Chain A
Amino acid sequence: MNTLSLPRIAYGVLVALLLVFLLAPVLLVFPISFSADNFIAWPPSGWSPRWYVALARESELLLAFRNSVVLGLVVTVLSLAIALPAAVMLVRKEFPGRDILFSVFTAPLLLPSIVLGLAILIVFVGRGLVGSWFGMVLAHLTLTLPYALRVLATGLKTLPPAVEDAAGTLGARPFTVFRRVTLPLMAPALIAAGALSFLVSFDEVVISLFIVGPQLKVLPVSLYHYVESRTDPLVASASAVLILVTLLLVIVVERAVGLRKAVGGGG
Chain B
Amino acid sequence: MAIARAPHAAGEAPRDAAPAAGLNSVHLTLEALEKRYGNLPPSVSALSLQLRQGELLGLLGPSGCGKTTTLRMISGLVPVTAGRILVAGRDVTALPPYRRDMGVVFQAYALFPHMTVAENVAFGLEMRKVSRTEAKERVMRALGMVRLEALADRKPRELSGGQQQRVALARALVIEPSILLLDEPLSNLDAKLRDEMRNEIRDIQQRLGITAVFVTHDQVEAMAICDRIGVMRAGRLEQIATPLEMYERPTTPFVADFVGRMNHLRGTRLEGGGVRVGEAVLATAGTSPAGEALLLMVRPHRIQMTPAATAQPEAAGRNVQPGTVRRVTFVGDALHYEVAMGAETMLVESSTVSGPQSFAVGDAVFLAWSPDDTLTFPAGTEA
Q: Which positions in A face B, CB cutoff 8 Å?
A: 160-163, 165-174, 176, 180-181, 184-185, 263-266
Contacts and interface: CB of A to CB of B under 8 A. Distances in A.
B171 A264 contact: no
Contacts of A161: 108, 110
Contacts of B171: 166, 170
Contacts of A185: 113-114
A171 B101 contact: yes
B127 A166 contact: no
B127 A172 contact: yes
A204 to B, nearest CB: 34
Contact of A171 (B72, B106, B114, B175): B175
Interface residues on B, range: 20 to 34
Contacts of B111: 163, 166
Interface in B98-129: 98, 100-104, 106, 108, 110-114, 123-124, 127-128
Contacts of B75: 169
A180 B115 CA distance: 10
B302 to A, nearest CB: 42
Contacts of B103: 169
A200 to B, nearest CB: 28
28 contacts: A160-B110, A161-B108, A161-B110, A165-B72, A165-B97, A165-B104, A165-B110, A166-B104, A166-B110, A166-B111, A166-B112, A166-B168, A168-B97, A169-B97, A169-B100, A169-B102, A170-B127, A171-B101, A171-B124, A173-B98, A174-B98, A185-B114, A264-B113, A264-B155, A264-B156, A264-B157, A265-B113, A266-B113
A182 to B, nearest CB: 11
A168 B102 CA distance: 10
B77 interface: yes
| 8 A-B pairs with the lowest CB-CB distances in the bound complex, closest first | A171-B127, A170-B124, A162-B110, A166-B110, A168-B97, A264-B155, A169-B104, A266-B113
Contacts of B114: 184-185, 263-266
Given A170-B171, A264-B155, A162 B108 contact: yes
B96 interface: yes
Contact of A168 (B98, B108, B168): B98
A172 B76 CA distance: 13
A173 B100 CA distance: 12
B183 to A, nearest CB: 10
